[in-house]
C-alpha cells in the first residue's frame, strides 16, 4: 500500500535570505602596534602564542590555525572552527604543538603557534527581550566573565560510559561538552529536561556527535538519534515515566551504539525523589567514570559514598551566566524555530509557510490530563506539540475525525524528532497548520502529536502583527486559556 505523508507542505519554511556582503565592523582590542604576539591583517587579528600562553575572548568568531594546532573547550584541531563565546560562557584558546603549517606569509619574526580570528557576520532581529539584548557581544579579549577551565590530568583516558552528576547550576552541561569535544565521535545522553543541550526543554534525548560543541545550546539545536517527549521542564510531574524514558535510551545505546563512548548529562534534581532516581540511574548505567561536581558548601554536594568518583570543582558563581533559566529556555525555544545558519529573525515566524497535516493522518495525546473530545482543537490551537514517530500497536484505529485520540495513561513506544507549533487549525478542511524546523524527510514518519506543558515564548506571538493573535492581557476562561506570568518580557502597552 502506498504510504501517505502526514506532512503535506504548502511550502516548507522560507529559504533563509543570504547574509549581507557587508560584514559588521570588526572591533579589535587596542593593543597598539604589531608585536611578535599579535597583528592586525585586513579583517583578521593574528595571534602568535607560546605553549604557556592562552587567550580568553568574547564574540561569535571563526578561528583558523595557521601553524600548529589550537585547543578550544577541550577540542584540539588544525582546522577552522566557529566559536560562540559570551554571556553564556567564555572560552579559552590554547596553543598545541603539531606539525601543521599553512602556506600563508606570517607577520612575525619568531613563529610559535599562530592562528587567525575573524568576527563572523550575523543577523538578529525581532528579539524584544531586554535580558537577551547583548546576546552576541563584539569580539574582545577582556571580559567580566571568567573562563571555565579544568585540570586535564583529571580528565585523561576517559572511555566507555562517562556519567556527570551535580546539583543545579554546578556546570554539568559545560563539563559534558568539554569531555565530548575530546572525542572524534561520541554519544551524548541528555537527561536534563529544563536545560537540555541539543533540544528545547521537555525532551530527553540520545545524540551521536561528530563535530565539536563550541557554543551555548541555542546555537546548535539538533534532531536526536532518539528522543522521548516528556512534555515538561521538570521530572517532578511524572518521575516514573522520566526514569523509564532514560532507561529506554540507555538500552537503545547499548543495542546500537555501544562501540562509541557515551557522555551522560544528568539532571540537577538531586534531593528527595530526585536523589533516588539518580542513584538508580547510576546503578543501571554502571559507568566507567563517575564525575561529581563538588561545591565548597558541603550541603550542595551529593552523597555518593557507595561509588568511586572523580571529584571536580563546581563552576564558581562568578563564572556562571547572568541569564536566568527561564530566559535561557525562551531563547532556545525561539531560536529552535527561527534560526537559519547565522540568521536569527524572530519576526519571521508569523509569516513562515507551514506544513498542512490532515486530522486523519495523526493521533493526538494530551500528557497527564484528559481533554474532552469537543475541546481538542481549542486545546491544540497555537500550542507547541512533540512530533513523534509512534510504533505502538493500537487495538482501535478510529476516533471520529482523528486517526486516534490516545488516552493520557496509555504507554507509548515513541521517538520524538522535534517540536512543532500548531499555527492554526482548520476544522472545515480538517487539517492543522504546523511550523517546525524538522527536515521534511524525517517529518514524513511522524504520526502522533503529544501535547504537554511546554509554552511558546510570548515574544514569538507579539512580533509581526498589528493586533497580536492568541495574546490577551485580560483573564481568559475555558480550555486553551492560559495565564502567563510576566517574566521580564518587553510587552506592548495597551491602548
pLDDT, tens digit, for every residue of 294-345?
988 888 889 898 898 999 988 765 455 667 888 888 889 989 998 888 888 8
pLDDT class of 346 with cuts at 50, 70, 90: confident
**Stretch among 26-40, 81-95, 450-464 having the lowest mean pLDDT:** 26-40
195, 201 contact by CB (below 8 A): yes
| 3-state SS class at 227 | strand
pLDDT class of 36 with cuts at 50, 70, 90: low
3-state secondary structure 340-401: ECCEEECCCHHHCCCEEEEHHHCEEEECCCCCCHHHHHHHHCCCEEEEEEECCCCCCCCECC
pLDDT, tens digit, for every residue of 123-180?
887 776 666 667 777 777 754 555 677 777 788 889 999 999 999 888 899 999 999 9
Half-sphere exposure of 261 (CA within 13 A, CB side): 20
pTM of the model: 0.86
Instruction: Return the C-alpha torsion angle 216, 219, 225, 227, nearest 10.
Output: 70
- Predicted local confidence at residue 324, as pLDDT: 82
pLDDT class of 460 with cuts at 50, 70, 90: confident
- Predicted local confidence at residue 315, as pLDDT: 77
pLDDT, tens digit, for every residue of 93-132?
999 988 999 888 888 888 899 999 998 888 887 776 666 6
**Stretch among 20-29, 61-70, 179-188, 257-266 having the lowest mean pLDDT:** 20-29
CB count within 10 Å of CB 444 equals 15
Structural domains of the chain ordered from first start: 152-314 (3.40.50.300), 354-456 (2.40.30.330)
Closest C-alpha among 433, 282, 453 to residue 367? 453
- Predicted local confidence at residue 105, as pLDDT: 86
Q: How far apart are CA 276 and CA 302, in angstroms?
A: 11
Amino acid at each position: 500500500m502506498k504510504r501517505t505523508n502526514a506532512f503535506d507542505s504548502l511550502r516548507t519554511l522560507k529559504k533563509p535570505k543570504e547574509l549581507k556582503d557587508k560584514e559588521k565592523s570588526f572591533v579589535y582590542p587596542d593593543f597598539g602596534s604589531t608585536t611578535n604576539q599579535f597583528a592586525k591583517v585586513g579583517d583578521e587579528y593574528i595571534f602568535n602564542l607560546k605553549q604557556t600562553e592562552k587567550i580568553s575572548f568574547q564574540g561569535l568568531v571563526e578561528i583558523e590555525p595557521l601553524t600548529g594546532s589550537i585547543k578550544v573547550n577541550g577540542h584540539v584541531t588544525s582546522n577552522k572552527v566557529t566559536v560562540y563565546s559570551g554571556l553564556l560562557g567564555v572560552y579559552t584558546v590554547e596553543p598545541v604543538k603539531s606539525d601543521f603549517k599553512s602556506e600563508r606569509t606570517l607577520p612575525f619574526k619568531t613563529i610559535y603557534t599562530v592562528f587567525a580570528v575573524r568576527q563572523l557576520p550575523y543577523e538578529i532581529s525581532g528579539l524584544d527581550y531586554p535580558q537577551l539584548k547583548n546576546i552576541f557581544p563584539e569580539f574582545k579579549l577582556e571580559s567580566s566573565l571568567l573562563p571555565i577551565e579544568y585540570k586535564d590530568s583529571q580528565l585523561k583516558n576517559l572511555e566507555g560510559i562517562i556519567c556527570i552528576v551535580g546539583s543545579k547550576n554546578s556546570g554539568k552541561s559545560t563539563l559534558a561538552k568539554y569531555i565530548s569535544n575530546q572525542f572524534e565521535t561520541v554519544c551524548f545522553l541528555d537527561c536534563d529536561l529544563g536545560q537540555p543541550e541539543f533540544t528545547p526543554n521537555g525532551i530527553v534525548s540520545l545524540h551521536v556527535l561528530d563535530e565539536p560543541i563550541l557554543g551555548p545550546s541555542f546555537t546548535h539545536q539538533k534532531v536526536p538519534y532518539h528522543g522521548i517527549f516528556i512534555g515538561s521542564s521538570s521530572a517532578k510531574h511524572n518521575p516514573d515515566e522520566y526514569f523509564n524514558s532514560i532507561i529506554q535510551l540507555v538500552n537503545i545505546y547499548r543495542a546500537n551504539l555501544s562501540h562509541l563512548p557515551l557522555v551522560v548529562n544528568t539532571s540537577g534534581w538531586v534531593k528527595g525523589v530526585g536523589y533516588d532516581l539518580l542513584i538508580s540511574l547510576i546503578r543501571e548505567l554502571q559507568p566507567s567514570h563517575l564525575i561529581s561536581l563538588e561545591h565548597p558548601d558541603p550541603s550542595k554536594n551529593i552523597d555518593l559514598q557507595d561509588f568511586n568518583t572523580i571529584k571536580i570543582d563546581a563552576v564558581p558563581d562568578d563564572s556562571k551566566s547572568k541569564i536566568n533559566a527561564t530566559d535561557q529556555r525562551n531563547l532556545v525555544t525561539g531560536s529552535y524555530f527561527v534560526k537559519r545558519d547565522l540568521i536569527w529573525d524572530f519576526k519571521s515566524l508569523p509569516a513562515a509557510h507551514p506544513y498542512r497535516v490532515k486530522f486523519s493522518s495523526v493521533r493526538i495525546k494530551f500528557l497527564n490530563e484528559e481533554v474532552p473530545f469537543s475541546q481538542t482543537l481549542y486545546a491544540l490551537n497555537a500550542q507547541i506539540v512533540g512530533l513523534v514517530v509512534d510504533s505502538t500497536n493500537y487495538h482501535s484505529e478510529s476516533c471520529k475525525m482523528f486517526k486516534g485520540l490516545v488516552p493520557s495513561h496509555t504507554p507509548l513506544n515513541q521517538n520524538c524528532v522535534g517540536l512543532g507549533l500548531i499555527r492554526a487549525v482548520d476544522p472545515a478542511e480538517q487539517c492543522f497548520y504546523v511550523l517546525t524546523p524538522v527536515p521534511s524527510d524525517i517529518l514524513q514518519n511522524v504520526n502522533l502529536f503529544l501535547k504537554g506543558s511546554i509554552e511558546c515564548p510570548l515574544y514569538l506571538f507579539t512580533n509581526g502583527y498589528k493586533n497580536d493573535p492568541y495574546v490577551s492581557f485580560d483573564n481568559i476562561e475555558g480550555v486553551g486559556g492560559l495565564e502567563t506570568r510576566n517574566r521580564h518580557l518587553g510587552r506592548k502597552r495597551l491602548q
